[in-house]
Amino acid sequence: MEAPENTLPAYIKAWEQGVDAVELDVRETKDKRLICIHDDSLARVSESEYTISQETLAALKTVDVGSSRSIKFANTYIPLLKEAFDCKPEKSKIFVEIKPSKISFNELKEMVETGVISKLNTHFLGFYPNVVRSLIKRFDIPATLSIIPAFFDYDYKKISSFLEKSKSFGISQHIDSKKSMNLIKKFKEEGKYCITWTVNNKKYMRDLIELGVDAIITDNPKKLMKVIKEKRNG
């Protein structure tokens, strides 16, 4: 990763490298604002110990999350979800992963109603079936359940049943081994929409492209774009 994760510089850099979509993680502040952050606190990405759900947007926006990565990213702050969409190239897409098991949908509703978010530029992801079902029910936008196969002992039937309960658009699956690759192959053969993450291994990238998965999420877009280019050139 060439810029601090879940920041505007990271998204912009990925788009500059030619990706057609970025994936970002979303959590809700104490005052119900949607911000881009993976963890439930700032401890890993800054010198602050703030917990996201216990602080206001104003408080969180005072914390520099760039300096720990590099001095050139000093004074980089957590972006609002809307700020990420505001810097998105017109024809690009954003995969929005809702991290918590419960959020207020008011801000998402406003973004959908004003056209910031649409089925053309957004795909929701979530680890909780209730969140995925709610997203599907409220908005005419694809929402897909994220799965870590190891939690299901790589059992195809267990995962399929879990997907059905969520009414998921497809499957967003963690790739960590040959077992997980075999699972995604089965789901793709069934015709399911398949998103894979977090793929930083070149061989896995090539194999997933060969399988025809619908999206590959990586920490290294430059490497993935190179693999795609090599594949196209034979």
The 10s digit of each residue's pLDDT in 177-189 is 999 999 999 999 9
**pLDDT tens by residue, 41-95:** 999 999 999 999 999 999 999 999 999 889 999 999 999 999 999 999 999 999 9
* CA–CA gap between residue 197 and residue 111 (Å, rounded): 26
Nearest to 108 by CA among 144, 77, 81: 81
DSSP designation for 41: B
The fold of the 145-234 domain, in CATH, is TIM Barrel (3.20.20)
* CA–CA gap between residue 225 and residue 125 (Å, rounded): 23
Identical fold for domains 1-141 and 145-234, yes or no, is yes
Which option is the CATH number for 1-141: 3.40.50.720, 3.20.20.190, 3.40.50.2000, 3.40.50.300?
Answer: 3.20.20.190
* CA–CA gap between residue 133 and residue 147 (Å, rounded): 15
* pLDDT above 70 coverage of the chain, percent: 100
- Joined together, the tokens standing for residue 215 give 């999206």
> Model confidence at 152, in pLDDT bands (50, 70, 90)?
very high
Q: Angle formed by the axes of helices 221-232 and 202-211, to 10°?
A: 50
Mean of the per-residue pLDDT values of the chain = 97
Domain ranges across the chain: 1-141, 145-234
